[in-house]
Structure 1
């Protein structure tokens, strides 16, 4: 028995060693680098300790993502009297970190280069060199988000300025910028947040990046009059929170989606492929002004997002006969800034001119006083059969009269309704950045309280064949 037991033990040991054998490290170099691309950059660097095979593997990564959340958190949590010193200390550490990584990096090409940190014009020289590095590696997707976590998208004269390098100079005719020698043709996506860019530089990029498919510019104070005509590959354009911009002209473009805000004049000419539009309404004419600007593409629109005030939402009730038809519209999102106790059922006027609508999303951005008082008035809306509406989502649900009545309205009129989604979080996100959730303990408890109220108020109203989801 002893010999049998001993043999069995050796067999188990050999089997365990076989199971522990490192098969991953035997994979081809290219596959290992690809595996690392699914990790954050810091996680990828930590794999150096696994074995000799992994020591410098991270330096061949085609994806460089520089984002230090903990440092941004330390800046945000610092006391008022310490804020500047903490911010500068963390900035210096961040810049040194990026410089050190780029000195060690060995990949000849980059799929993605992303920097997300609170940096300003004081870091101009360092960021210019980072851009030169990225473009010399034929980067395809480039993102500079220099906002940190505060004042997202807000322009400032102290913001970093995208270099004049693409134009051949650094702003002075006598100084040649090394960036001028760089080939920008590999660029497919460019996203800039809290980066100042002149119209001259923007138009240069549009004319010279022939493969550019996506362009986002958020929070630039230097854009005033912008003309977009190409490149042929450009499908997605987003220009927002550029408060000094007076005119945006888009002509002879193959755009599929467009997001804009803070522009006095919008001109669209020959944009036959445009089917997805997001407009933040600031004009005196409100929604009617926005609709007029989009007249050339209304018949083809499939997705429309409007950010409007409660006053505009209320006036829509009387404008139903003035609104043009939106025959191909399948998804409508209405972001409403609510400042007083006015009815929102005027929004149903937009739905009436969208006979083939399949998904409707209403996002509320309530004033703090409204949240505190928790009451709003209810107004009458004309019943209208919605034969194709399948999904209705209400964000910013508080459990007030108008919330419940809106749900009742769509239960009554949407004969093909399949799903109702209730989200207690109101839309606090910026135009170009993700929505931010309630983070304080008080906010989380309030959110849970709204969820309980939603179940109590709506469970008995929603029929069994309609899926009911509370986020």
Structure 2
């Protein structure tokens, strides 16, 4: 009797658990395509397994994002796999583009370790994107390459699709491409000349963001208005000599490796990032920024190895920064030296609310005791957050924390991060194995807890050790 009842119960349960009808898949094709448009490209492709109604909906996706991180990791570990993985990647992208049916693209992104040997395929991808009036285009061919090193085999941005190859319109079908749809353009490890860059700026009248990283062919660049450009980044272009910006409504500027920076009538500039790795160092760039330093609200300085030794002298030369709200300093340090010389710059920022110091130490650095440094007593009335990254537990770390506990009257939070700053210094000779770096960070975290817990921290200040 129990068995019969049990069997009946199972049959009844199975009947009650009947799957509901798929009403979403019965919606008109246009609405389903609109739904897919809110997904990333990879998410859109995954919908093809839902049902026959979803099989090819991804081919109408307005966002194409081609990146294979797993393959990039394999290439980084086994250099011999590069040619094979590159062929597979190119084949994958070509296959997707052959199936793609959307007439317009919001985004087209390629990120993989490719060189000029893949030129023909990359040219065709760019032509495809431009023909579909792409709005955001990113071409990142860096792989795991270090942008601090020049790459003679980098892909060169083609003149043909831009219509500036010197050919007539009749013999150059790409010359009629309309670039007005572009709003954001990012190139990494893509060589281009100053003429090409200026052509892009002249013809992409709605372009708001431009990023060029790792181009060997840029020497002299001029950016002149009227332009819609709000954000400009030109970094790791080690042959560049002069960057001139005139009559532009730039809001943010990120620049490195520029011997001469000329700014004229750039009234809206509020955020500046300076990576110093040029022959004249950060001084040349700061001199060019002198006309807008009084208006800056966010400033990031990435100080190179040699300039770290001259830090005190350099900072004394800088003017007051009355509107500065956030200051970030990336510092490459060789040994435990007092960092209180930074106070010269910080003291000139009377309204500073957040200070971030990111340390990058030489892997051979030995924590040692030294005589404490001295800094001018100064009351920071508005500083609320102090963050120290790359904490080792050496004398310079502790004295900085103590200094701001004493002088920042409005301080609300101190953030201590033992992880080393890796993202802004492209110095291969300072790289270490991941396992070695992790062990050092664990030791730094232990020292941070031991040393900082001994300090007298006011109750209104939150101490965070990451």
Normalised by the size of structure 1, how large is the TM-score?
Answer: 0.89
User: Greater CA deviation, 266-275 or 453-462?
Assistant: 453-462
Q: Which residue does 2:71 correspond to in 1?
A: 71
Distance 1:470 1:219 in 2: 35
User: Greater CA deviation, 96-105 or 170-179?
Assistant: 170-179
Indicate which of 248, 252, 257 corresponds to 2:247: 252
Indicate which of 93, 101, 104 corresponds to 1:98: 93
Q: Which residue does 1:22 correspond to in 2?
A: 22
SS at match of 1:328: coil
User: Greater CA deviation, 310-319 or 277-286?
Assistant: 310-319
Aligned-pair CA distance for 1:150: 2.0
RMSD: 2.8
SS at match of 1:215: strand
Distance 1:439 1:56 in 2: 44
**Pair 1:227 & 2:222 matched:** yes
Q: Which residue does 2:205 correspond to in 1?
A: 210
Aligned-pair CA distance for 1:311: 5.8
Distance 2:28 2:445 in 1: 50
Distance 1:167 1:64 in 2: 21
SS at match of 1:450: helix
Query: Any stretches of 5+ residues in structure 2 without a counterpart?
Result: none
Indicate which of 444, 447, 466 corresponds to 2:441: 447
The answer on whether the counterparts of 2:45 and 2:58 sit within 8 Å (CA) in structure 1 is: yes
Aligned-pair CA distance for 1:35: 5.0
Normalised by the size of structure 2, how large is the TM-score?
Answer: 0.90
Indicate which of 348, 353, 360 corresponds to 1:353: 348
Aligned-pair CA distance for 1:341: 3.3
Change (3 A) 1:430 1:353: closer
The answer on whether the counterparts of 1:36 and 1:58 sit within 8 Å (CA) in structure 2 is: yes
Superposed, 1:30-429 pairs within 5 Å as: 32-33=32-33, 36=36, 41-78=41-78, 83-84=79-80, 86-152=81-147, 154-170=149-165, 176-230=171-225, 232-282=227-277, 288-309=283-304, 312-313=307-308, 315-317=310-312, 322-370=317-365, 373-375=366-368, 377=370, 378-429=372-423
Distance 1:229 1:239 in 2: 15
Change (3 A) 1:466 1:264: same
Aligned-pair CA distance for 1:313: 4.9
The answer on whether the counterparts of 2:337 and 2:396 sit within 8 Å (CA) in structure 1 is: no
Distance 2:398 2:33 in 1: 52
Query: Any idea what the Cα deviations from partners look like across 1:260-285, whole Å, max 9, x if unmatched?
Result: 00011000000010000011234676
The answer on whether the counterparts of 1:266 and 1:293 sit within 8 Å (CA) in structure 2 is: yes
